[in-house]
Amino acid sequence: MDKFIEGFSKKEREDKIRAIAQFFKDSDKAVSTFKSFNHPDAKIQEMINEFSENTISNFHLPYSIAPNFLINGKTYAIPMVIEESSVVAAASKSAKFWHKLGGFRTEIIDTEKVGQVHFVWKDDVNKLKARFEELKELLIEGSADITKNMQARGGGIKDIVLRDLSDKEPGAMQLFVTFETVDSMGANFVNSCLERFADLFRDWHKDQDEFTPNGLEIIMSILSNLTPNCMVKCWVETELENMNDIVPGITGEEFANKFRRAVRIAQIDPYRATTHNKGIYNGIDAVVLATGNDFRAVEACGHAYASMNKDGYTSLTHCEIKDGKFRFELNLPIALGVVGGLTNLHPLVKLSHEILDHPSARELMSIAAAAGLANNFGAVKSLTTTGIQQGHMKMHLFNIMNQLEVEKGNRQKVVDYFKDKNVSVSAVREYVEELELAATSKN
């Protein structure tokens, strides 16, 4: 049967669901499941529908809290949206450990955003370069109506630079523009400015007798998610003796050396670095989602930045042992906003910002970085001592029991049984079958 759907986007939500029902063997059950995730408040559901295109239901993820994060002398309970329980557990455990040792410290290096107008230049490049300052002034003055409000908040256009990429692609050039967007992520502001620049550039070019009618071709105007100068540094440090027995039977010095070597491996091996950095973003993404920001842009930026190293893709964290002190540091390029987008709309996003005491964009950068460093600390600690699977699989025990549909009466028995044993789906299934067999025998 042809399952092509004509005019899907124009259908009412109820009709969209009916149209999608044809893709399921049990269409009634599928429709019922989709509808069961609707928000009980019709106004909120209507708002959620408008967040995206072709919405037919809501997809729920756990909203968790990692408490006791001491960041720059202030204690936070950090909201995290993620489906992996071990991430929240690791963040919470690391936060508790570092709280008594001074917590996480951060420094905002800069908050510069980037946008580009890409174009092909077919006229004399030297003439463009000679008159660029004139063009630059025209672009800034001609976009004053767009930048006025942002400037009043302390932001705006920082600089416009002419870049020549013609050695890589014939005629390719760009206006490389830097912005300060204060407490907003600034995507709409940046893109509006860039599109205005493109229009002004075209008009300016047409008015110059020394240029040919077809000498300029605008390719596109768009922000860049690579913001290497929108950077936060986050670190923890303590004397080695304070880490004695962080894992029973291991001295602080022994643990620190194991830990440093593991981080060093992530710096020199891209295969390890990829998983290492993924562990960092476990924490960062969870905070970014909870606060209504774009985790895809945040990850793209971080991984691109990690690839800019002269030796190739590398770790975003660094570990140092010096003069009897352990220091673990994350350098994170990240652009976040606390106004605009979902921050003023989504009820849980609004609560997230309230939980965090309505942070500025700079403060939220610090909070996200601390969550990332905490998760990375917890992961590397486990990897170099007890192994990652022990804690990881125990946190997934309840997921396994749900998958196997373990009866409620047996669940605590399963938890107690696996307190000192390795957890796997097969091991849990085998033990549950033993419990069920024993119960049948009694009957």
- pLDDT > 90? residue 140: yes
Lowest mean pLDDT among 41-50, 61-70, 337-346: 337-346
339: DSSP letter: B
- How far apart (Å, rounded) are the C-alpha atoms in residues 222 and 365? 23
Residue with tokens 């304070």, as numbered in its chain: 242
Q: What is the pLDDT of residue 390?
A: 57
Cβ partners under 8 Å of residue 248, min gap 6: none
* Per-residue model confidence (pLDDT) at position 402: 87
Six-digit token pair at 27? 């269409």
pLDDT of residue 389: 58
> Which of the following is catalytic: 11, 39, 74, 84?
84
Of 127, 158, 258, 278, catalytic: 278
- List pLDDT tens digits, range 190-249: 999 999 999 999 999 999 999 999 999 999 999 999 999 999 999 999 999 999 989 888
Domains of the chain by residue range:
8-46, 63-109+228-388, 110-224, 396-442
One-character DSSP codes across 76-101? EEEEEE-S-HHHHHHHHHHHHHHHTT
Mean pLDDT on 434-438:
83
Question: What pLDDT score does 238 carry?
Answer: 98
For the record, the structure tokens of 396 come out as 């997934």
Q: What pLDDT does residue 443 have?
A: 64
Q: What CATH number has the domain spanning 110-224?
A: 3.30.70.420
Of 136, 109, 108, 132, nearest to 121 (Cα)? 132
Quick check: 91 and 80 in contact, CB under 8 A?
yes
pLDDT tens-digit profile of 90-122? Answer: 999 999 999 999 999 999 999 999 999 999 999
Q: Does domain 63-109+228-388 have CATH number 3.90.770.10?
A: yes
What per-residue confidence (pLDDT) applies to 442?
A: 74
Question: Among candidates 111, 103, 101, 108, which has minimal Cα distance to 76?
Answer: 103
pLDDT score for 74: 98
Confidence category of residue 388, pLDDT binned at 50, 70, 90:
low
pLDDT in tens, 317-352: 999 999 999 999 999 999 999 998 888 899 999 999
| Catalytic residue, candidates 16, 118, 381, 392 | 392
Residue 424: its pLDDT value, please? 83
pLDDT band at 440; cut points 50, 70, 90: confident
Q: How many CB atoms lie within 10 A of CB 348?
A: 14
User: Buried b vs exposed e over 401-420: b needs ≥16 C-beta within 10 Å?
Assistant: beeeebeeebeeebeebbee
Residue 164 to residue 168: CA distance in whole angstroms: 9
E-state strands within 148-212: 156-164, 172-180
Residue from 180, 183, 285, 294 carrying the catalytic annotation: 294
CB-CB contact of 256 with 132 (8 Å): no
pLDDT in tens, 11-35: 999 999 999 999 999 999 999 999 9
Least confident range from 82-96, 181-195, 288-302, 408-422: namely 408-422
The sign of the CA dihedral 65, 82, 246, 427 is positive
Q: What's the confidence (pLDDT) of residue 43? A: 94
215, 153 contact by CB (below 8 A): no
- Structure-block tokens of residue 127: 């003439």
Residue 1 has pLDDT above 60, yes or no: no
What's the pLDDT score for residue 341? 82
Cα 110 to Cα 243: distance, rounded to the nearest angstrom? 33
392 has catalytic annotation: yes
Q: Which two tokens stand for residue 208?
A: 């110059």
Helices and strands per DSSP (H, E), number in the chain? 17, 9
Helices (H), 269-360: 270-290, 295-307, 347-355
Residues 389-429 pLDDT 10s: 555 566 678 788 888 888 888 888 888 888 778 788 888 89
User: What percentage of the chain reaches a pLDDT higher than 70?
Assistant: 97
CA–CA separation, 9 and 52 (whole Å): 11
Closest CA relative to residue 343, chosen from 319, 360, 366, 323: 360
At residue 11, what is the residue type? K
Interval 268-296 mean pLDDT: 97
* Separation CA 356–CA 349 (nearest Å): 11
